[in-house]
Structure 1
Amino acid sequence: MATIRHEFYETDEKLTLSIFDKGADPEQVKISFEPRKFSYEHGDNSLVLQPLKGQIDPTKCDYTVGKVKVEVRLVKAAQGRWAGLVGDAPDPLTSFAPPPSTSQTAPKPKKNWEGITTQILDGEKDKGSEQDPNVGGDTAVNGFFQKIFADADEDTRRAMMKSFSESGGTTLSTNWDEVGKGRVEVKPPEGSEWKKWN
């Protein structure tokens, strides 16, 4: 049997595997899902991935047979990136302990911009010029923005942190009514081009 060409991409929740088996007959494709093993067989073509880099949930995995490829969706048992298909990575489920909480079905909390700003400001206080190249630069401007931030109300602080972080440092707004409505767009300086790094 020949090992068939394949490739994958992943999110934290699942891994999508493309198996290039042109003209595969859906009736003759044999696929099996196990927690740490995946196998594919069709005629002389086969693919066995074992041990998988992480654990999957066999009951949630599925596949579709297309004209050019077979697309397999492996649902991860624990969220996170594998950065590979097979290997002896420690199984995240064995060391996974759910965080202590009163309810396992609690809704995902909104971002606490106030907590983030406090954390950043506390971290900035102790930095000297050796650790932070911005310290000792234009101290008048730095002090001006620190004063605005320190004297601002909660909405203004949230607006400043959200606008600055979402715009990649190209926008600083104090208007929460405007910033709170949606994502803040990146506005690079005139003559510059914004490039997203992966």
Structure 2
Amino acid sequence: MLLNLFYRKANEAFVDENYDEALKLYTAAIENDSTVAEYFVKRAQTYIKLAKYAEAEGDAGQARSLDPSSPKACLRQGVAQFHLEKYKDALASFQTGSQLDKADANFSQWIEKCKAKIPDDPEPTKQETAAETKQDTQPPAASIPQPPKEKQRYDWYQTESHVIITIMIKGCKRETVDINYNQHTFSATIKLPTGSDYSLELDLAHPVVPTHCVTRILSSKVECKLKKEEGIRWNKLEGDDSLAAASSVSKDDTHKHPTSSHYSRNWDKIAKEAEEEDKQDGVNDLFQKIYADGSDEVRKAMNKSFVESGGTVLSTNWKEIADKKTEMKPPDGMEWKNYET
């Protein structure tokens, strides 16, 4: 009973993104019974979240020893090895996992990532082999401390038909973002400005429809919109959520973020506001481009109309506004008020 309590509480902490607490609880479960492979698999996943890839590799290897038929152990070990730049080892782990679970497309995607990292090196010459042998006899150089990895955050909310995962990384380019949707898993790999990779691996609480999932790369975030296979409320993003299908939830509650907070939010409303904000960002980008590419007269027109109208009008026609003051035109249903003293 105590052991199950440790494991259950660890899962709850993990879902709440309290990874340090989850790590302590998974460790307590392992200390009570070190023969359960799933405990090592989950602690390996927690280590990955904390960017402790060497520890994750060790735990996943222990899980594979306890249960050689566990595809998740292969996946966790492969992900850890990939981040440790052990691409050949990672490839072998993913290939083994793929044989154990042929239906999981996640393995094929990771296999392609590994192959892209492994160069097609020619056979080494005798001179190169001799040089490597000589180098091996030299004393090892002092290890250079690596800067701590920047911790990135993500959030999620849901509507009746979709789950939206928002990754809070600014300035991403499409070629540096790799998002993979599968029925039961979600993975994201994003190249950070520092040159390192941000990785997010999720075992989804409920199935989604991969072909209807959409990725939007915005200036301030990466938004991933997952189509629910069933129109039910998710109580969790990851892990076991067996209560979701049986729960009776009002329509209003369906639109609230499933957290343990003592307050609730209407996430449909927030989603709509976010869409409006993104549209406004797009309009602003367009205006900036027009200003940058425009002639001197276009720029003068934009500056004059914007200032004189209190930001309610933006004209590019200098001949039309050059000899008259631009009137204020607030949006429909609103009125202009001057608050200056």
Higher RCO by CA contacts (8 Å cutoff, separation 6 or greater): 1
Q: TM-score range by the shorter chain?
A: 0.3 to 0.5
Whichever of the two has the greater Rg, that structure is 2
TM-score of the aligned structures, taking structure 2 as reference length: 0.26
